[in-house]
Amino acid sequence: MASIFDLFKKFEEIRAEKSSPAGSVEFIICGLGNPGPEYENTRHNAGFMAVDHIASREGFKVTRAKFDALTADVTFAGKRVLFMKPQTYMNLSGQAVGKAADFYKIPPEKIIIISDDVNLAVGKMRVRRSGSSGGQKGLADIIKRLGTEAFPRVRIGVGSPPSGGDMVNWVLGKIPEPDVPEFKKCIENVRDAVSLIVNGKIDEAMNRYN
């Protein structure tokens, strides 16, 4: 016999399906990060923060559990888009992205990944049409799962650790207070960069934000 929790979850899924925009999902926009309150607002969760900012600006919530992720199926920039925040932890991000891509038959060029980048100064952004992971574990797992590097990504600068510093502690740490304004400005710009990519203007996004 189904529990009250299971029935409530099923009701939420049915309601989400009914509220989804018409047509099929055309794009996946996935912000990378680690789930759990202990990781909130850390450098490694820059992708989560960017997706949350877009959701707040656009008036939706990324809360539906699906594909090992929290998701939202919405109209964004005139297209039907699935926003994702994988709940698999960073190193297995490809598991969530791959499941959604397989289900909706989304080609790599329409999968946009938002991640942190320790090779960029805080507040800097880099939009790329494709490329290597650059050492970012979530991107590496997505490349492995999709079998290609040919998907767009928006990389958010979080700065690099001091010489001899531990990388794990660095990415799981928070942006220093003096750098927060520049970091937030970059997060805010992700919305417009992603909107341009969705509308086939990735070159304009690169020229404007790189």
Give residue-wise pLDDT tens across range 88-105.
Answer: 999 999 999 999 999 999
Indicate whether 18 pLDDT > 80: no
Average pLDDT along the chain: 91
Q: Which residue, 88, 82, 83, is CA-closest to 39? A: 88
pLDDT digits (tens, 9 = 90+) for 33-60: 999 999 999 999 999 999 999 999 999 9
DSSP 49-85: HHHHHHHHHHT----EEETTEEEEEEEETTEEEEEEE
Rounded average pLDDT over 15-26:
64
CA dihedral of residues 138, 46, 102, 134 (deg, nearest 10): -40
What average pLDDT does the segment 133-150 reach?
96
The rounded percent of the chain whose pLDDT value lies above 70 is: 90
Q: Is 44 a catalytic residue?
A: yes
Annotated catalytic residue: which of 43, 44, 126, 155?
44
Mean pLDDT of 72-99: 97
Q: pLDDT category, 9, cuts 50, 70, 90? A: low
Which class does domain 23-209 fall in? alpha beta
pLDDT for residue 19 is more than 50 = no
Q: Where are the domains of the chain?
A: 23-209
Residue-level pLDDT at 17: 47
Task: Name the DSSP class of 120.
Answer: S
Q: pLDDT tens-digit profile of 116-128?
A: 999 999 999 999 9
